[in-house]
């Protein structure tokens, strides 16, 4: 549901992915901090809480910070531990 209580489906890009959340880019629907949204990635679904949102300079798109709910498992198809090793040794 968007900020106007309308259901929406949209393709977005996930950046800065972690086991606990991510930053979504390219949203055209308005959401509010505190709301819960459902994401689907590669056939897996999970609910996330919107932590923050920021409009683009032209006001057409939004970036949104999301945090996974404690009851949800990680949906990202990444080896996050391996990524952290690489960053730690980079």
pLDDT, one tens digit per residue, over 13-72 is 888 888 889 999 988 888 889 999 888 888 888 999 999 999 877 777 889 999 999 888
Query: Would residue 1 count as lying in a domain?
Result: no
Query: Would residue 7 count as lying in a domain?
Result: no
Number of domains comprising the chain: 1
Which pTM was predicted?
0.76
Query: Would residue 66 count as lying in a domain?
Result: yes
Picking from 62, 51, 59, 55, the residue whose alpha carbon sits closest to that of residue 26 is 62
Domain, as residue range, for 29 = 13-89
Query: Would residue 3 count as lying in a domain?
Result: no
Query: Would residue 69 count as lying in a domain?
Result: yes
Query: Would residue 76 count as lying in a domain?
Result: yes
Query: Would residue 6 count as lying in a domain?
Result: no
């Amino acid at each position: 549901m968007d900020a106007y209580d309308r259901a929406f489906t949209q393709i977005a890009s996930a950046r800065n992915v972690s086991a606990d959340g991510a930053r979504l880019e390219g949203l055209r629907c308005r959401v509010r901090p505190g709301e819960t949204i459902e994401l689907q990635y590669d056939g897996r679904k999970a609910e996330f809480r919107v932590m923050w949102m920021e409009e683009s300079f032209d006001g057409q798109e939004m970036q949104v910070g999301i945090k996974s709910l404690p009851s949800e498992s990680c949906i990202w198809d990444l080896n996050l531990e391996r990524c952290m090793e690489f960053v730690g040794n980079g």
